[in-house]
Amino acid sequence: MLQRRGWLGGPKPPKNPHSLEHLKYLHHVLMKNQTVTESNKSLIVEALRSMAEILIWGDQNDSSVFEFYLEKNMFLFFLNILEQNSGNYVCVQLLQTLNILFENLQHETSLYYLLSNNHINEVICHKFDFSDEEVMAYYISFLKTLSLRLNQHTIHFFYNEHTDDFALYTEAIKFFNHPESMVRIAVRTLTLNVYNVNDRAMLRFIRDKTAAPYFSNLVWFIAEHVREVDNCVRNNANHQHRDRLRDLVAEHLDHLHYLNDIVTLENEMLNEVLIHHLLHRLFLPLYVRSLADGSPGDDNVYYHLILDILLKDYFSIFYNVLRYHLFLNNKCFLGQYQYIYTFIMFTMDTLLVISKDYEYSCRQVTIQCCNKTINSPHLPFLDTIYSALNCTGSDYSALFALCFLYAILHNKGLLCLTHLIENCSKIKYNHGIVTYRFVCILWCSVSTRILKKRTGNYQRKHGNLFHLTPKKCTLLNKANSAQNTLNKLILIHRDKHSFKEDIGKEEGSESYCHWLIERLLRIISKSVMSESKVRLATLRLTSILLKKVGVRDTDCVLLEEHLSSIEVNIFSILAEAMQNLQKYLKEEEMFLDIFEDEYRTLQPLNVEYLMMDSSLLLPPTVTPLTGIEFSKRLPCGQSEQARQLIGIFFTLRDLSLFLCKESETQLPLTREQDCIQTNDKLDLNNSDLIACTVSSKESKQRRFLVVELYQLILVEPDSKRLGWGVVKFAGFLQVLTRIDSRTLHVIIHKPSGLRRVPILAANFIFDDHIRCMAAKQRLTKGRMRARHLKTGRIAVLLGV
């Protein structure tokens, strides 16, 4: 194209576009066309494009190119073009050229050339026409590309310590709430890339100049978003706006992920500010309080889910929040601790209920005390969970409660909590008296709880150890410095002898919480009742929790009575399933198919995905017309009820086997190892063999057809042993499709859940009609026999 434009005068473009001469030529073109007009627009755009190419080439092949670029200060052309406000067409190309340059330059020196003289910041600050979505997209990509090149060396080209200027960052965050999602994502990427550069001065700038407004805006928007989710759920009882709800929840998760990404960069300076906002504007007022106020059926019950999501992946955020709050920020008032305290207590209690392991890690912390400043902790959170698990009416809130327990059990963030509690001992007076006292109280309460839990009997014997005695009160009140308090607490603790030893003796008597097990079992027995309102997902999650709570170090720690209760439940399920089996006798064929299909598609429940599913927020439904997966709704119609029962059966059977430490021997009905595989060698003396030609798209081969227990097999004679055959194909017996005089049309599918993939599609051509009919009969009968066998095995399994 450039060649054609030689008429503009001056030297002709060199033949080789990848040469210093070419850049010189471009320089000439731009010199001649310093003012952008309608007529030379295309020429300039073309020159800008070529510029990107030649500079990249130079970077990789010939250093003289960049030297020339620098010598002529060619970046000025870019700025000159920008200043003329020459229209979006030219601006877009300019940005694209810069994108290409910053994306592809390999040599650091080339990069420094481009970044020098502060020109780049002029481009960043230029007021482009952001109403044009194309300009916006290219501009934000430009900023993002730049942010990907940030490191401790390049940061100084962008952040100017003397003028306290960091245009790349400050310009970008102006778009953090842009209506276009890709722009928002780019801004988030950029911020993360910036926070990831470990430059103290820059980070200080961000904290002092931008963190407060940016983070508070961010948190404010997230909180607004949560309210929107709430509204959407409330106005959505009939599932009309499921797509919108799904988008909202996904967006909310994005936000939480973003916060998590920032927090996990472990940038203390920024985290301190971020966490302050998070705690006071989001976690406490929205999430935590909703748990405290919301009993099942209440309006704000949906927050459970939000909290679940939060807990599963973001416990670490929360506890990081607390950690920073306690250790870095001493400007807190006691009142603000109320919720934190209650929440920690809540978590502690939940943990003590569900996990014994956790106690071990907290053991060292044991010190007893009373709780004077904060009133004896009422535990609204735990109450909420308790009543949700009762599963009255629907299993709506029970499922959340289960998710919640699961989340607490699986959250790595809990290490933070342990850490937090352990660190309490390191808190010094100079962290502020309020913080210090809070920590003392926290620490003591935690210990008390552990002790209470572990030493139910012990406590009865030495009751006053855990209660406030006047002596202790006096000591506490008199303590002038907090350090003293701590010492005195330890003294009290020592006074009361080494109760740790006693605890040791008590160990093992009660290793799990009756209360929780009983409730879980209740959910299970509810699930088998007719007209049950328990969804499959709820049951499966219950089973997971039961496994987790009931078994430690591969030993079943459930009491005999509970174990037998589970067995009883399984028996009643069997009875229920048997009845249904009878109902389905007429359509027996379908029952077998459903049974096998359910088993094949059975996959471990992914609780994380489950928790992220927005449809759980809506009241449980029956109808598949909503598009909700089977396991997350109730069965609709007879066939689905059969499916449901089969699903329950598998879950409970698995649970029972797990608890008894037995392995599955009966399922699947046809096991891989019982089947004949390709290349097996079979002794076919005395077998019925029918010769045929197997003709498929690819080939035509002479084979012998054999019908085995469950399988259709094609063999070719073994050349080494007479009467033996080598298996060339083996597939399960299936319904035959078509028959013409001496040809059978056979399509064999791989038995797989979702997509049926044919593994063989061929015509079996026999010598004559009689043999063809014989083969057909053998295949059909074989299939019937196989089905009969399998149905028999189901009957055995069900105890019919």
Partner 1 sequence: MSYAYLFKYIIIGDTGVGKSCLLLQFTDKRFQPVHDLTIGVEFGARMITIDGRQIKLQIWDTAGQESFRSITRSYYRGAAGALLVYDITRRDTFNHLTTWLEDARQHSSSNMVIMLIGNKSDLEARREVKKEEGEAFAREHGLIFMETSAKTAANVEEAFINTAKEIYEKIQEGVFDINNEANGIKLGPQHSPASGGAGGNRPRQSSDGGGCC
Cα dihedral 451→455→458→463 (10° resolution): 40
Complete DSSP assignment for 507-539: TTS--S-HHHHHHHHHHHHHHHSTT----HHHH
Binder to partner 1 among 22, 69, 77, 144 (CB under 8 A)? Answer: 144
Residue 565 CB, nearest approach to partner 1 (Å): 37
Binding of residue 711 to partner 1 (CB under 8 A): no
Binder to partner 1 among 60, 85, 117, 295 (CB under 8 A)? Answer: 60
485 to 46, 93, 331, 392, 692: CA distances (angstroms)? 77, 69, 21, 47, 94
Structure tokens at 287: 């999430």
Binding of residue 49 to partner 1 (CB under 8 A): yes
Q: Which CB atom, from 282 or from 713, has the smaller least distance to partner 1? A: 282
- Footprint on residues 6-45 left by partner 1 (CB under 8 A): 18, 45
Q: Which CB atom, from 57 or from 429, has the smaller least distance to partner 1? A: 57
Binding of residue 757 to partner 1 (CB under 8 A): yes
Binder to partner 1 among 250, 529, 575, 590 (CB under 8 A)? Answer: 250
Distance CA 261, CA 588 (A): 54
Binder to partner 1 among 254, 383, 587, 629 (CB under 8 A)? Answer: 254
Beta bridge partners of 766: 692
Binder to partner 1 among 34, 35, 37, 61 (CB under 8 A)? Answer: 61
Residue 276: phi and psi, rounded to 5, are: -60, -50
Q: Is 558 exposed, middle or buried (0-12, 13-18, 19+ CB in 10 A)?
A: buried
Binding of residue 433 to partner 1 (CB under 8 A): no
End-to-end CA distance of the chain: 84
502 secondary structure, DSSP code: H
Computed over its alpha carbons, how large is the radius of gyration of the chain?
Answer: 36
The binding track of 72-111 with respect to partner 1, each residue x by CB under 8 A or -, is: -----------------x--xx--x--xx--xx-------
Distance CA 428, CA 482 (A): 8
The answer to whether the Cα torsion of 480, 482, 483, 487 is positive or negative is positive
Q: Which CB atom, from 104 or from 336, has the smaller least distance to partner 1? A: 104
Q: Which CB atom, from 96 or from 572, has the smaller least distance to partner 1? A: 96
Binder to partner 1 among 20, 52, 322, 705 (CB under 8 A)? Answer: 52
Binding of residue 122 to partner 1 (CB under 8 A): no
Binder to partner 1 among 66, 69, 138, 341 (CB under 8 A)? Answer: 138
Binder to partner 1 among 83, 208, 224, 243 (CB under 8 A)? Answer: 243
Q: Which stretch binds partner 1 (CB under 8 A): 252-260, 357-365, 544-552, 683-691?
A: 252-260
Q: Is 18 exposed, middle or buried (0-12, 13-18, 19+ CB in 10 A)?
A: middle
Q: Which CB atom, from 309 or from 475, has the smaller least distance to partner 1? A: 309
Residue keyed to tokens 């799904």:
246
Binder to partner 1 among 70, 74, 79, 137 (CB under 8 A)? Answer: 137
Q: Which CB atom, from 30 or from 692, has the smaller least distance to partner 1? A: 30
Q: Which stretch binds partner 1 (CB under 8 A): 6-14, 130-138, 415-423, 471-479?
A: 130-138
Q: Are 136 and 183 within 8 A, CB to CB?
A: yes
Binding of residue 691 to partner 1 (CB under 8 A): no
> Which is nearest to 116 in space by CA: 154, 77, 64, 79?
154
Q: Which stretch binds partner 1 (CB under 8 A): 140-148, 200-208, 655-663, 688-696?
A: 140-148
Residue 17 CB, nearest approach to partner 1 (Å): 9
Q: Which stretch binds partner 1 (CB under 8 A): 177-185, 506-514, 588-596, 739-747?
A: 177-185
Q: Which CB atom, from 188 or from 526, has the smaller least distance to partner 1? A: 188
Residue 307 CB, nearest approach to partner 1 (Å): 19
793 to 219, 553, 585, 595, 670: CA distances (angstroms)? 58, 34, 15, 12, 10
Q: Which stretch binds partner 1 (CB under 8 A): 46-54, 397-405, 559-567, 659-667?
A: 46-54
Q: Which stretch binds partner 1 (CB under 8 A): 204-212, 243-251, 663-671, 691-699?
A: 243-251
Distance CA 383, CA 291 (A): 9
Distance CA 609, CA 602 (A): 16
Number of residues that bind partner 1 (CB under 8 A): 45
Q: Are 359 and 352 within 8 A, CB to CB?
A: yes
Distance CA 535, CA 524 (A): 10
Give SS3 for 570: helix
Binding of residue 421 to partner 1 (CB under 8 A): no
Strand 690-696 and strand 758-766: the pairing is antiparallel
Binding of residue 53 to partner 1 (CB under 8 A): yes
Distance CA 111, CA 96 (A): 16
Residues that bind partner 1 (CB under 8 A): 18, 45, 49, 52-53, 56-57, 60-61, 89, 92-93, 96, 99-100, 103-104, 134, 137-138, 141, 144-145, 148, 181-182, 184-185, 188-189, 192, 243-244, 247, 250-251, 253-254, 257-258, 260-261, 609, 755, 757
